[in-house]
Amino acid sequence: MQKITIATVVGGIILFLWQFLSWGLINLHRDTQQYTPKESEVLQYLDENLDEGFYFMPGVPPGTSQADEQKLMEESLGKPWAEVRFHKSMTMNMGSNMARGIVVDFLSVFLLIWILMKMQNPNMATILLSSVAVGIIGYLTTTYTRSIWFEVPTITDLIDGIASWGLVGIWLGWFLRR
């Protein structure tokens, strides 16, 4: 049990550090957080006209018939559209966010270790490739699937999935085989 605990903690820290590098120090995700000099005006307009929530525009009012929804979508082709995540008040609880993040990382690594322990005598390559597969599966079934519909750039998320889980796989392949 001690070996699994050490493997989980170190693996979770590796994931956490990669996320810090990717989102902070290296800032690979800058293309998903672009700046506009009109942000004050846009935010003021949104604050005056939206409730807090997530919006896709053009949207359809609740209760719209399928035929009317289809017509609106056809009329919208070639015109501007937006996805808006609007919050009335910015909060910054870095401690809580970081704590939640590292707990998720520990849990994720623990689940991977649980899967790996079900294999009979996995070698370094199996552990590394299984770890990378976890990263790719996570990317494909969440981030990439969303990008198909909403045209979001995701190459940095793929890099995150492969690099972070690859590093975890190297750690686990070395440590679990000792």
Per residue in 48-62, pLDDT tens? 999 999 999 999 999
pLDDT for res 128: 98
- Residue 83 pairs in a beta bridge with 56
Q: Give tens-digit pLDDT for 67-89.
A: 999 999 899 999 999 999 999 99
Is residue 149's pLDDT more than 90? Answer: no
Q: What are the Cα distances from residue 51, in Å, to 81, 87, 89, 132? A: 19, 8, 11, 40
Q: Are the C-beta atoms of 109 and 15 separated by less than 8 Å? A: yes
Please state, in angstroms and rounded to a whole number, the distance separating the CA atoms of residues 152 and 143: 9
Q: Give tens-digit pLDDT for 83-126.
A: 999 999 998 889 999 999 999 999 999 999 999 999 999 999 99
